């Protein structure tokens, strides 16, 4: 057993119980967020006059690149008197939001100031447009639709070609062809991704696939590893991979690709970073835990973790800041370095309204979008960053503009 295996084993062991266990028997209660990192947004609207100090990038048509409470059918009368809107200071006028959108000719950056779309070079036109998934340093674009000789829940199907769009870049780079549904997953370093492939298009999803670390331009950065059967790729964490066990998206294995050994199992993963796994055991008195994989150390946060499957959380690209929606509905930010928790006032809203949030460009500015689940009414866009005592909020009054953006007709 290596030193890192011993430290990880001890950290997981201390977090669970006082009994001795082999690494492959350890179960840390955690929940995955990787496949939730793109929360679908439909019928959205963005005001053409949003404002913050630098252009904000939001991926549309692949979703608001974050997590949050989605549309609810719960009536307003059962929402405990929470407000229907975010509250804070007005957003300063005169700045610009840039929106990454799919278009009839590929994709482009839509400006909320000019109401024009600047195309991204290097992306071919596809019949049903692109979806965008957040990766370290930018977004991965993949075709929305593809044909397959079998169900996408049964076999791999023909590979899809993936492209990387760096933050603010007007040119996309070709990563390569991988498994169509989730063939590119984040690496632990910026500018790196794991490309996942199958031997044949008819290969079962639960058969062994292959994963290779490549650059955002598709250059191989290491050998191609064969994943064990009954596992799907999750993401890179430090020098290891988190693998989805039996595709159930609730239990994950920390796997060493160099030795093909499982170091431990994780359930109820709330968020994942380049070196961190955020998790909870889910008991009534439990709180969220953060495991630093390279050091093998685990510490407890003040965030309640008794209902981990209901928690919405997202880490910044560097793993330093964790944004989480508390049981009260209020958003809070936990600093994994200083271990301090800051609640953001004005962010608890009625469950009859949706609320999505994520880190702008993966940095340290939190972007929040909220609005009514049904019926007429403007949406809101807000931001918060460390040092702010309040949200900065703007109202989106033209839902028709977003409808045009999403269909690529602007």
pLDDT level of residue 137 (50, 70, 90 thresholds):
confident
**Sheet of strand 366-372, all strands in order from the earlier edge strand to the far edge:** 67-69, 353-359, 366-372, 379-384, 392-396, 89-90
C-alpha 277/C-alpha 387 separation (Å) is: 26
Distance of CA 151 to the CA centre of its chain: 25
What is the residue-averaged pLDDT of the chain? 78
* pTM exceeds 0.75: yes
Residues 304-327 as b/e (b if ≥16 CB within 10 A, e otherwise) read: bbeebeebbbbbbbbbbbbbbbbe
Mean pLDDT value of segment 200-221: 92
Question: pLDDT: is 321 or 40 the higher one?
Answer: 321
- With beta carbons less than 8 A apart as the criterion, state whether 373 and 352 touch: yes
Closest of 206, 199, 192, 211 to residue 257, by C-alpha: 211
C-alpha distances out from residue 58 to 42, 182, 212, 272, Å: 14, 21, 28, 21
pLDDT of amino acid 334: 97
pLDDT of amino acid 157: 87
Beta bridge partners of 237: 240
pLDDT of amino acid 57: 53
Flag whether pLDDT at 127 surpasses 80.
yes
Flag whether pLDDT at 73 surpasses 80.
no
Closest of 315, 272, 367, 353 to residue 69, by C-alpha: 353
Mean pLDDT value of segment 333-352: 95
pLDDT of amino acid 20: 32
- With beta carbons less than 8 A apart as the criterion, state whether 372 and 363 touch: no
CB atoms within 10 A of CB 377: 14
Least confident of 13-22, 369-378, 399-408: 13-22
DSSP 320-351: -EEEEE-TTS-EEEEETTTTEEEE-TT----T
The structural domains of the chain, ordered by start, are: 3-10+27-406 (2.130.10)
Q: What percent of the chain has pLDDT over 70?
A: 74
pLDDT of amino acid 248: 61
Residue 402's SS3 state is helix
pLDDT level of residue 29 (50, 70, 90 thresholds):
very low
Return the H-helix or E-strand segment holding 252. Answer: strand 251-256
Mean pLDDT value of segment 143-151: 77
pLDDT level of residue 379 (50, 70, 90 thresholds):
confident
- Kindly report, residue by residue over 223-253, the tens digit of the pLDDT: 999 999 988 888 899 999 999 886 666 788 9
Give the residue carrying structure tokens 């957040």: 134
pLDDT of amino acid 94: 67
pLDDT of amino acid 49: 27
Closest of 215, 317, 200, 209 to residue 255, by C-alpha: 209
How many CA atoms within 13 Å lie on the side-chain side of 2? Answer: 12
- Kindly report, residue by residue over 46-66, the tens digit of the pLDDT: 222 233 334 445 554 334 445
Least confident of 76-80, 142-146, 249-253, 403-407: 76-80
Flag whether pLDDT at 197 surpasses 70.
yes
C-alpha 91/C-alpha 395 separation (Å) is: 9
Please give the structure tokens belonging to residue 24: 């492959």
- Kindly report, residue by residue over 285-330, the tens digit of the pLDDT: 999 999 999 998 999 999 999 888 788 999 998 999 999 999 999 9
pLDDT of amino acid 95: 59
C-alpha 287/C-alpha 293 separation (Å) is: 19
pLDDT of amino acid 409: 44
- With beta carbons less than 8 A apart as the criterion, state whether 297 and 10 touch: no
């Amino acid at each position: 057993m290596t030193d890192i295996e011993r430290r990880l084993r001890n950290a997981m062991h201390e977090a669970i119980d006082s009994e001795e266990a082999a690494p492959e028997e350890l179960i840390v209660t955690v929940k995955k967020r990787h496949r939730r990192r793109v929360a679908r947004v439909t019928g959205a609207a963005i005001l053409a006059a949003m404002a913050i100090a630098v252009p904000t990038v939001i991926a549309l048509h692949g979703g608001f690149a974050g997590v949050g409470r989605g549309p609810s059918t719960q009536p307003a009368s059962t929402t405990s008197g929470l407000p229907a809107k975010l509250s804070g200071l007005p957003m300063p006028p005169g700045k610009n939001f840039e929106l990454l959108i799919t278009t009839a000719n590929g994709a482009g950056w839509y400006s909320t100031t000019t109401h024009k779309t600047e195309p991204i070079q290097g992306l071919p036109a596809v019949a049903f447009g692109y979806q965008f998934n957040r990766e370290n340093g930018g977004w991965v674009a993949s075709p929305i639709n593809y044909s397959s000789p079998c169900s996408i829940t049964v076999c791999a199907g023909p590979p899809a070609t993936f492209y990387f769009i760096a933050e603010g870049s007007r040119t996309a780079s070709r990563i390569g062809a991988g498994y169509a549904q989730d063939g590119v997953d984040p690496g632990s370093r910026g500018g790196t991704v794991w490309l996942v492939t199958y031997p044949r298009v008819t290969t079962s999803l639960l058969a062994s696939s292959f994963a290779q670390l490549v650059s955002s331009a598709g250059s191989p950065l290491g050998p191609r590893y064969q994943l064990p059967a009954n596992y799907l790729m999750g993401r890179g964490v430090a020098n290891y991979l988190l693998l989805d066990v039996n595709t159930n998206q609730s239990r994950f294995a920390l796997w060493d690709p160099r030795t093909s050994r499982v170091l431990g199992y994780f359930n109820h993963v709330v968020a994942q970073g380049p070196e961190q796994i955020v998790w909870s055991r889910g008991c009534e008195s439990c709180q969220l835990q953060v495991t630093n994989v390279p050091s093998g150390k685990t510490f407890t946060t003040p965030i309640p973790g008794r209902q981990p499957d209901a928690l919405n959380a997202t880490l910044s690209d560097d793993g330093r800041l964790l944004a989480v929606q508390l049981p009260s509905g209020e958003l809070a930010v936990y600093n994994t370095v200083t271990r301090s928790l800051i609640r953001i006032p004005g962010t608890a809203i009625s469950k009859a309204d949706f609320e999505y949030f994520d880190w702008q460009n993966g940095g340290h500015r939190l972007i929040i979008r909220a609005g009514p689940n049904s019926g007429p009414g403007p949406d809101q866009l807000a931001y918060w960053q460390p040092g702010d005592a309040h949200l900065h909020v703007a109202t989106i009054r033209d839902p028709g503009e977003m409808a045009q953006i999403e269909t690529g007709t602007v």
